[in-house]
Amino acid sequence: MAAEGRCDVLRGTPRGDSAPIARSQRGRGRGASAGWAELESRGTELIRRTGCVDFGQTRDPENLSRLMTEVGIEHALLTAEEAAERWPGIRTNGPAMWHASAGVIDAQTTVRTMVDAAVELGAALFTGFTVASVTRSGAGFTVTATADSTAAVSVVNASHVIVAAGGFLPGLLGELSLPSGFLAALPTFEVRQEMAFHFPYANPDEAMDWP
Ligand SMILES: Cc1cc2nc3c(=O)[nH]c(=O)nc-3n(C[C@H](O)[C@H](O)[C@H](O)COP(=O)(O)OP(=O)(O)OC[C@H]3O[C@@H](n4cnc5c(N)ncnc54)[C@H](O)[C@@H]3O)c2cc1C
């Protein structure tokens, strides 16, 4: 979850074209919807259900539609003419798939809501704790913070450790006391640059009414 950003895109779209992928998405989709509903029931809207249009060769809307049907996600496959009529501002040059329950997630609020829920359930939260190392100690682990961490504690003992460092993982891997065989078996990490650009609205007053 891009915790610092305000928006991420939520979509139930399965990727690829294999049946196993579609099947695995079926269970995941149902579970995810219930989870999001439970999180939002805490009183904060986290997803703005804008819907989503898929079109173009890369997205392959016809194949996506087939997969969506297979996993039971409501959607509509439109011809280029129907799409042009519905969204005059978009030229799809082919069929388009409309997925009504897709939306935009407020990523930052979502992460905070999840963290608040965990704390309410008894989790201890340490912010400003940059992990320097995780070492085995007895039956558990000792997690040590870097010297420049601002957290109130610099060492945490835990019976289990889950590392969720995202793209930062390669920098930490050597400090996690992992068996050399495990490290050797890991594939090489390749972090690529991604450029995101949001075009300004031509008319901001009407932006919320479109599409
Ligand atoms: C520009 C951009 C746009 C995206 N758009 C979408 C989208 O529209 N929809 C979508 O579903 N996904 C999107 N993604 C992907 C999504 O953001 C990631 O898949 C998601 O953030 C991964 O979550 P994560 O928790 O695994 O890792 P991250 O979100 O990267 O979290 C890792 C965390 O670990 C912390 N950390 C790292 N090292 C340490 C350490 N030593 N000690 C303590 N903490 C540490 C980091 O500060 C960070 O907070 C986008 C990504 C990018 C970059």
Count of domains for the chain:
2
pTM: 0.74
**Is residue 135 in some structural domain?**
yes
Rounded to the nearest whole angstrom, what is the distance from the C-alpha of residue 201 to the centroid of ligand 1?
27
Boundaries of domain holding 133: 126-185
CA torsion angle 165 114 124 156 (round to 10): -10
Same-domain check for residues 56 and 90: yes
**Is residue 32 in some structural domain?**
yes
State the residue for tokens 């060492």.
Answer: 155
Look at residue 119 and tell me whether its pLDDT is greater than 90: yes
Same-domain check for residues 177 and 84: no
Listed in order, strand segments (DSSP E) in 5-145 are 8-10, 47-48, 52-55, 76-78, 96-99, 103-105, 131-137, 140-145
Residue among 8, 25, 28, 106 to mutate when testing ligand 1 (max atoms within 8 A of CB)? 8
What's the CA gap between 68 and 12, in Å, rounded? 8
Top pLDDT among 116 and 34 is at 116
Structure tokens at 86: 């519905």
Write down the pLDDT at residue 126.
95
